[in-house]
């Protein structure tokens, strides 16, 4: 018969104020198989733990139940105490008498009875518990960073500086991301490129960083410490080992009218191109969709121009495999285009811009070399209207969240405009001004007070074109809902920040969860902001939610520390709460019949095929096997298995059944 | 018929296969025939009365052995074979499937895709009996349906003929035999019967190919096949499957598609 020890905690008065803890201990003490039952004021304290340790030795306990707080709080504490007394830690279970009972009920007879039931269930479960050993898995000390914006750059540098190898994968031909497109940054107005480009160069030159630009993740297999990443290196059509980056090919390319992605569609680029002059690597790629040769089979002017013969027409995409131990996702965000807004002209008015396009206008490296000019006629706008919350905080548009950065960059835009066009007049329509952050509120006040930006609290209902002017019809809610009409020369929409295109597919490749807006989901909104629910995959920057540069950099360093902490171990220790497929003596081998329904159900790709072979090497059966490194113990496979051949260690069918039956058999 | 016998004899005598599973004349209706030599092949028949689902034998290792074997299969059996492929129970190298098409010509298949292409021509339709009972059940309220099935199931004495006849019930240990813990009470009683039949139905979701073998096998005439058939009919369009066309896209309960029209799962 079992010898179970039961320890009921008062938790100060947290439990004992509503539960008659002495009665719980008394009644449980009378249960079959319970050798010892006591209550104590603070079970987690040193004397409390000593009670447990001494009882394990004195009564030779083969199971321990602690009726106290949530196992999230103190299960490790009590399991350690048991282990110190020589009992396998997984023979210790907790009944949650605080969160599940005393905190949620009034003091009454029933509350105590519920507490007794909760303890009773765990006693029945512990009787079926088996000793378990923690799982050890080796760690590959190399990190994969996906996305080469400021988040990816920072995370890569931080990890590389701890002495570990980093593989940085960027989808575009150059790293730099959105930050390289920005003009000046709030709240200090320092030039974005001036602070970013040195970091880009550092990445390219760092001995611990392997940079793959124009590349995308194809698939990720494996588990924490042991991932296998397949990376697609898109064909650049240019041999980077011989190309000198002289740029002659770009000059001569006859296809010149392609809208430039870097300039947010305001400028043009050629078919063989470098996204921007400060690009890293500063070597061109051929855009095969627009190149004359790939389209029509003739041209090859770049090849004739190239002095070193670097053009490779027949180069195909290459897929390489890298083994890594951790992954940092830093794929960033995107902004909605002006075409998303029927009320602001569906994107058909050339002088209605997004904030990102305005950044390009204001940037010294932009299409107008930093002069604010209308895309339609090149004139300098004398009246400009900024509309904050364009799409954001608007459930009707499907974007109920705040994009967080717009208040600040709109103030910055207005300020830059005032600095560049001294006789200009700028108006900002806003809902609220959200300037939480160091020196942020001061920055907005400066825009309003020193740079005389006209802030109007209200929404803009419509923007339409009339005689070359943009008529902005809005309302000023601070003046009692008075109608405001402005004849503007340019309108800038602070369009909502949204998840980057392809983020949903990427999340599915990585088995990372995402929110309804396709931003990647953190493991805990407060306490695990850089972890994902998939062990070994971390988040940095705006792929998790819109955020500004300081926050992104902070998060990237946070993710880097998590990776470094992971790499500080040679082996990882995991809880043995994983699924196992039963194994039996021959000729059965297992009750698993190998239908692999579990494989189709497993969200973590943890089900493998195990071939059972006879002595002569012939295949007897193929059954399922659980990869213990990948398994997260969710139990979906258990629910799927028709023959009940698969079970979760520590939460077996038998244990859970015993728990339920202890209630039903009352 | 002659073509089939000749081909079977040829396959066996040339050693291409070691066993042909087919039909022979029985007392009231055709019965399964296991021929291991060319003489046995003389007894083979194949006509519209041959509806016994022979797929039930092809997962039995002790019967089919390690060598390559052949099975003659009408449409319903072909469907079962496809589902068995989906569930990793068959190997394409080991199985040769023979059927006789509408024009009387022999057709042979060695891969899932070949069978799928052939079966795609045949729409799964309800027979008279199925139509009659199902339309009656479809007209009932929830309570009436429960009453109907409780009444039907009360006749069950747990002989498990439905399980034995089903080609997809190939587990070496069935859930009713699991006793740690004992999920389903083993005795025949209204509630215990319902436990078994609900479990059986749930285990067939997204898998049943509506061959009707279980209902055919029931000695007390419970239309058990209609539960799983109706579930399949209801489920297939919701999940984008064609009823009676098993597809290699996982199980209805576990798989989902990126372009799923339901948004809640995203």
CATH number at residue A413: 3.50.50.60
B102 inside 8 A of chain A by CB:
no
In a domain, A654, yes or no: no
Q: Which helix (H) or strand (E) element contains residue A646?
A: strand A646-648
Chain B residues touching residue A640 (CB < 8 angstroms): 251, 253-254
Q: pLDDT tier at A534 (50, 70, 90 boundaries)?
A: confident
Query: What pLDDT does residue A217 have?
Result: 96
Contact A642 B87 (CB under 8 A): no
Cβ atoms of A615 and B176 closer than 8 Å: no
B-interface mutation test, from A506, A513, A583, A642, most B Cβ less than 10 A away: A642
A609, pLDDT greater than 90? yes
Contact B180 A595 (CB under 8 A): no
Q: pLDDT tier at A222 (50, 70, 90 boundaries)?
A: confident
Q: Quote the tokens at residue B95.
A: 């199985």
A563, pLDDT greater than 90? yes
List the helix and strand counts (H, then E) for chain A: 17, 34
Q: Quote the tokens at residue A657.
A: 């059944």
Q: Is A562 exposed, middle or buried (0-12, 13-18, 19+ CB in 10 A)?
A: buried
Chain B residues touching residue A642 (CB < 8 angstroms): 171, 175, 203
Chain A residues touching residue B266 (CB < 8 angstroms): 504, 516
Chain B residues touching residue A619 (CB < 8 angstroms): none
Chain B residues touching residue A636 (CB < 8 angstroms): 254
B181 inside 8 A of chain A by CB:
yes
Domain end (from A498, A526, A544): A498
In a domain, A241, yes or no: no
Give the mean pLDDT of A517-532.
Answer: 92
Number of CB atoms found within 10 A of residue A77's CB: 21
Query: What pLDDT does residue A273 have?
Result: 96
Q: Which helix (H) or strand (E) element contains residue A449?
A: helix A440-449
pTM above 0.90, yes or no: no
**Local structure of A58: helix, strand or coil:** helix
Contact A593 B250 (CB under 8 A): no
Domain hosting A268: range is: 248-305
CATH number at residue A587: 3.30.70.3270
Q: Are residues A209 and A328 in the same domain?
A: yes
Distance of CA A615 to the CA centre of its chain: 48
**Local structure of A243: helix, strand or coil:** coil
In a domain, A65, yes or no: yes
CA dist A145 to A345, A554, B105, B123, B165, Å?
39, 16, 60, 51, 54
Query: What pLDDT does residue A524 have?
Result: 85
In a domain, A162, yes or no: yes
- Tracing tokens 């340019």 back to the chain, one arrives at A490
Q: How far apart are CA A121 and CA A24, in angstroms?
A: 13
Number of CB atoms found within 10 A of residue A26's CB: 15
pLDDT in tens, B194-242: 999 999 999 998 899 999 999 999 999 999 999 999 998 988 888 878 8
B2 inside 8 A of chain A by CB:
no
CA dist B34 to A253, A567, B22, B40, B66, Å?
74, 62, 6, 8, 15
Q: Are residues A195 and A223 in the same domain?
A: yes
The chain B residue lying nearest A609, using CA atoms, is B88
Q: Find all residues with CB under 8 Å of B148, minimum gap 6, and list them.
A: B137, B140
How many CA atoms lie less than 13 Å away from B166 in the CB half-sphere? 25
Q: Which helix (H) or strand (E) element contains residue A83?
A: helix A71-84
Q: How far apart are CA A34 and CA A356, in angstroms?
A: 69
Residue B66 DSSP code: S
Give the mean pLDDT of A603-631.
Answer: 90
The chain A residue lying nearest B253, using CA atoms, is A601
Cβ atoms of A493 and A352 closer than 8 Å: yes
Q: Quote the tokens at residue A373.
A: 């000019």
Give the distance from residue B196's alpha carbon to the nearest chain A alpha carbon, in angstroms. 12
Give the distance from residue B212's alpha carbon to the nearest chain A alpha carbon, in angstroms. 21
Chain A residues touching residue B264 (CB < 8 angstroms): none
- Tracing tokens 């392997």 back to the chain, one arrives at A210
Question: What length is written for chain B?
Answer: 266
Q: Are residues A441 and A324 in the same domain?
A: no
Angle at which helices B128-138 and B224-238 cross, to 10°: 80
CA dist B7 to A200, B42, B50, B112, B181, Å?
72, 10, 18, 21, 50
B249, pLDDT greater than 80? no
Q: How far apart are CA A563 and CA A326, in angstroms?
A: 6
Contact B88 A600 (CB under 8 A): no
Q: How far apart are CA A269 and CA A260, in angstroms?
A: 5
Query: What pLDDT does residue A19 have?
Result: 97
Q: Are residues A322 and A192 in the same domain?
A: yes
Q: What percent of chain B has a predicted confidence (pLDDT) above 90? A: 73
Query: What pLDDT does residue B258 have?
Result: 65
First-to-last CA distance in chain A?
Answer: 20
How many CA atoms lie less than 13 Å away from A624 in the CB half-sphere? 33
Q: How far apart are CA A118 and CA A95, in angstroms?
A: 6
Contacts 24+ apart (CB under 8 A), B136-139: B137/B226, B137/B230
Tell me which range, A351-355, A507-511, A631-635, is most confidently predicted by mean pLDDT: A351-355
Give the mean pLDDT of A652-663.
Answer: 95
B174, B183, B250 member nearest A600 (Cβ): B250
Q: Are residues A345 and A415 in the same domain?
A: yes
| A619 strand-pairing partners | A613
Q: In B, residues 187-216, which contact A (CB 8 Å cutoff)?
A: 203
A600, A657, A661 member nearest B255 (Cβ): A600
In a domain, A665, yes or no: no
Task: Give the per-residue SS3 of A287-306.
Answer: CCCCCHHHHHCCCCHHHHHC
Residue A564 DSSP code: H
B127, pLDDT greater than 70? yes
Contact B89 A597 (CB under 8 A): no
Q: Are residues A390 and A460 in the same domain?
A: yes
Chain B residues touching residue A643 (CB < 8 angstroms): 171-175, 178
Query: Rounded to a whole number, what is the largest CA-CA distance in chain A?
Result: 95
B171, B180, B250 member nearest A593 (Cβ): B171
A595, A618, A644 member nearest B87 (Cβ): A595
Kind of pairing, strands A454-457 and A460-466?
unpaired
B172, B251, B253 member nearest A593 (Cβ): B172
Cβ atoms of A153 and A203 closer than 8 Å: yes
Residue A520 DSSP code: B
Number of CB atoms found within 10 A of residue A259's CB: 11
Domain end (from A102, A132, A162): A132
| A624 strand-pairing partners | A609
B173 inside 8 A of chain A by CB:
yes
Give the distance from residue A289's alpha carbon to the nearest chain B alpha carbon, in angstroms. 26
Number of CB atoms found within 10 A of residue B28's CB: 6
Q: Quote the tokens at residue A48.
A: 């409390």
Q: pLDDT tier at B265 (50, 70, 90 boundaries)?
A: low
B-interface mutation test, from A518, A597, A604, A634, most B Cβ less than 10 A away: A597
A440, pLDDT greater than 80? yes
Contact A594 B88 (CB under 8 A): yes
Contact B171 A591 (CB under 8 A): yes
Give the mean pLDDT of A28-42.
Answer: 96
In a domain, A91, yes or no: yes
Cβ atoms of A6 and A115 closer than 8 Å: no
Give the mean pLDDT of B16-31.
Answer: 94
Cβ atoms of B110 and B81 closer than 8 Å: no
Q: Are residues A375 and A474 in the same domain?
A: yes
B250, pLDDT greater than 70? no
Q: Quote the tokens at residue A63.
A: 């199971």
Q: Quote the tokens at residue A235.
A: 């064909």
In a domain, A546, yes or no: yes
Closest CA to B45 of B63, B18, B27, B26: B26
Give the mean pLDDT of B56-84.
Answer: 93
In a domain, A310, yes or no: no
A612: left (phi over 0), alpha (psi -120 to 50) or beta: beta
Contact A588 B172 (CB under 8 A): yes
Q: Which of A92-96, A219-223, A278-282, A591-595 has the lowest mean pLDDT?
A: A219-223
Closest CA to A115 of A45, A51, A26, A50: A26
ipTM above 0.85, yes or no: yes
pLDDT in tens, A65-77: 999 999 978 999 9
A504, A597, A643 member nearest B251 (Cβ): A597
Q: Are residues A298 and A378 in the same domain?
A: no
B173, B175, B254 member nearest A597 (Cβ): B254
A591, A596, A601 member nearest B172 (Cβ): A591
Contact B266 A596 (CB under 8 A): no
Query: What pLDDT does residue A352 have?
Result: 96
Distance of CA A427 to the CA centre of its chain: 36
Contact A601 B66 (CB under 8 A): no
As for how many domains chain A has, the answer is 5
Q: How far apart are CA A559 and CA A68, in angstroms?
A: 34
Q: Find all residues with CB under 8 Å of B262, minimum gap 6, and list them.
A: none
B174 inside 8 A of chain A by CB:
yes
Domain end (from A449, A478, A498): A498
CATH number at residue A69: 3.40.50
Give the distance from residue B68's alpha carbon to the nearest chain A alpha carbon, in angstroms. 15
A-interface mutation test, from B169, B176, B181, most A Cβ less than 10 A away: B181
Q: Are residues A407 and A374 in the same domain?
A: yes
Q: Quote the tokens at residue A224.
A: 């924490």
Q: How far apart are CA A56 and CA A63, in angstroms?
A: 8
DSSP-assigned states of every residue in A110-146: HHHHHHHHHHHHHHHHHHH------EEEE---EEEEE
Q: Are residues A287 and A325 in the same domain?
A: no
Q: Are residues A470 and A565 in the same domain?
A: no
Q: Which helix (H) or strand (E) element contains residue A50?
A: helix A46-59
What is the phi/psi pair of residue A206, to 5°? -70, 130
Contact A618 B183 (CB under 8 A): no
Q: How far apart are CA A654 and CA B53, in angstroms?
A: 36
Give the distance from residue A465's alpha carbon to the nearest chain B alpha carbon, in angstroms. 38
Contact A622 B88 (CB under 8 A): yes
**Local structure of B35: helix, strand or coil:** strand
Closest CA to A85 of A63, A107, A112, A102: A63
Q: Are residues A340 and A432 in the same domain?
A: yes
* Runs of H (alpha helix) within chain B: 2-13, 61-64, 75-86, 112-119, 128-138, 142-153, 161-165, 190-204, 213-217, 224-238
């Amino acid at each position: 018969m079992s010898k179970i020890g039961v320890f009921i905690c008062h938790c100060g008065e947290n439990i004992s104020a509503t539960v008659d803890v002495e009665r719980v201990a008394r009644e449980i003490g009378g249960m079959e198989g319970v050798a010892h039952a006591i209550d104590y004021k603070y079970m987690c304290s040193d004397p409390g733990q000593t009670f447990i340790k001494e009882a394990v030795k004195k009564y030779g306990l083969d199971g321990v139940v602690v009726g106290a707080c949530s196992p999230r709080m103190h299960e490790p504490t009590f399991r350690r105490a048991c282990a110190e007394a020589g009992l396998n830690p997984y023979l210790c279970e907790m009944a949650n008498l605080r969160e599940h009972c005393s905190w949620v009920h009034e003091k009454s007879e029933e509350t105590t009875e519920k507490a007794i039931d909760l303890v009773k269930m765990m006693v029945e479960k512990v009787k079926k518990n088996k000793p378990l050993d923690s799982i050890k898995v080796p760690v590959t000390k190399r990190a994969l960073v996906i996305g080469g914006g400021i988040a990816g750059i920072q995370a890569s540098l931080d990890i590389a500086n701890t002495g570990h190898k980093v593989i940085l994968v960027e989808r575009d031909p150059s790293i730099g991301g959105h930050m390289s497109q920005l003009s000046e940054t709030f709240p200090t107005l320092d030039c974005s490129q001036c602070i970013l480009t040195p970091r880009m160069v550092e990445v390219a030159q760092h001995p611990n960083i392997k940079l793959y630009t124009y590349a995308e993740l194809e698939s990720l297999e494996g588990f924490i410490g042991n991932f296998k990443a397949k990376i697609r290196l898109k064909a650049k059509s240019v041999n980077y080992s011989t190309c000198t980056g002289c740029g002659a090919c770009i000059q001569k390319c006859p296809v010149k009218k392609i809208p430039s992605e870097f300039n947010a569609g305001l400028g043009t680029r050629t078919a063989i191109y470098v996204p921007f002059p400060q690009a890293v690597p500063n070597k061109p790629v051929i855009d095969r969709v627009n190149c004359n040769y790939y389209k029509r089979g003739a041209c090859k002017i770049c090849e004739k121009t190239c002095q070193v013969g670097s053009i490779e027409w027949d180069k195909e995409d290459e897929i390489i495999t890298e083994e890594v131990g951790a992954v940092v996702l830093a794929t960033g965000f995107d902004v909605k285009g002006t075409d998303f807004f029927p009320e602001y002209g569906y994107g058909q008015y050339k002088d209605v811009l997004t904030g990102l396009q305005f950044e390009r206008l204001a940037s010294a490296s932009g299409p107008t070399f930093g002069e604010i000019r209308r895309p339609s006629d090149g004139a300098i706008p004398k009246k400009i209207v900024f509309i904050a919350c364009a799409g954001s905080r608007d459930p009707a548009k499907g974007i109920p969240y705040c994009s967080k950065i717009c208040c600040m960059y709109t103030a910055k835009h207005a300020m830059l405009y005032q600095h560049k066009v001294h006789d200009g007049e700028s108006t900002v329509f806003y809902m609220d001004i959200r300037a939480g952050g160091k020196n942020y509120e001061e920055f907005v006040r400066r825009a309003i007070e020193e740079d005389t930006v006209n802030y109007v609290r209200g929404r803009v209902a419509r923007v339409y074109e009339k005689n070359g002017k943009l008529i902005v019809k809005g309302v000023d809610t601070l003046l009692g809902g008075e109608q405001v009409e402005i004849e503007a020369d340019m309108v800038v929409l602070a369009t909502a920040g949204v998840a980057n295109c392809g983020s949903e597919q990427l999340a599915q490749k990585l088995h990372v969860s995402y929110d309804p807006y396709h931003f990647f989901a953190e493991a805990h909104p407060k306490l695990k902001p850089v972890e994902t629910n998939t062990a070994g995959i971390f988040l940095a920057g705006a792929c998790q939610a819109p955020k500004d540069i300081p926050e992104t950099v902070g998060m990237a360093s946070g993710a880097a520390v998590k990776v470094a902490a992971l790499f500080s171990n040679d082996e990882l220790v995991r809880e043995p709460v994983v699924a196992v497929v039963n194994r039996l003596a021959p000729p059965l081998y297992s009750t698993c019949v190998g239908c692999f329904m579990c494989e189709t159900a497993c969200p973590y790709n943890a089900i493998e095929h195990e071939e059972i072979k006879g002595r002569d090497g012939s295949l007897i059966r193929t059954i399922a096997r659980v990869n213990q490194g990948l398994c997260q113990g969710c139990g979906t496979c258990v629910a799927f298995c028709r023959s009940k051949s698969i079970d979760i260690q520590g939460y077996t069918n038998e244990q859970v059944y015993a728990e339920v039956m202890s209630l039903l058999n009352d | 018929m002659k073509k089939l016998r000749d081909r079977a004899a040829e396959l066996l005598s040339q050693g291409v296969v070691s066993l042909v599973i087919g039909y022979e004349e029985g007392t009231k209706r055709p019965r399964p025939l296991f021929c291991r030599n060319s003489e046995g092949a003389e007894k083979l028949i194949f006509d519209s009365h041959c509806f016994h689902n022979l797929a039930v034998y092809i997962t039995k290792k002790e019967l089919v052995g390690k060598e390559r074997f052949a099975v003659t299969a009408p449409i319903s059996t072909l469907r079962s074979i496809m589902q068995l492929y989906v569930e990793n129970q068959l190997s394409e190298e080991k199985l040769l499937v023979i059927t006789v098409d509408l024009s009387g010509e022999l057709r042979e298949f060695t891969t899932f895709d070949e069978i799928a292409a052939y079966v795609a021509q045949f729409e799964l339709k309800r027979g008279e009996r199925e139509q009659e009972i199902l339309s009656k059940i479809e007209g009932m309220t929830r309570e009436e349906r429960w009453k109907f099935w409780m009444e039907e199931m009360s006749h069950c004495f747990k002989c498990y003929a439905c399980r034995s006849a089903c080609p997809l019930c190939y587990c070496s240990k069935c859930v009713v035999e699991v006793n740690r813990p004992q999920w389903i009470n083993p005795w025949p009683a209204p509630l215990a019967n319902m436990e078994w039949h609900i479990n059986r139905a749930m285990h067939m979701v997204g898998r049943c190919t509506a061959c009707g073998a279980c209902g055919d096998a029931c000695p007390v005439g419970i239309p058990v096949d209609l539960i799983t058939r109706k579930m399949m009919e209801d489920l297939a369009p919701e999940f984008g499957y064609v009823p009676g066309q098993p597809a290699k896209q996982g199980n209805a309960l576990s798989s989902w598609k990126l372009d799923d029209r339901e948004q809640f799962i995203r």
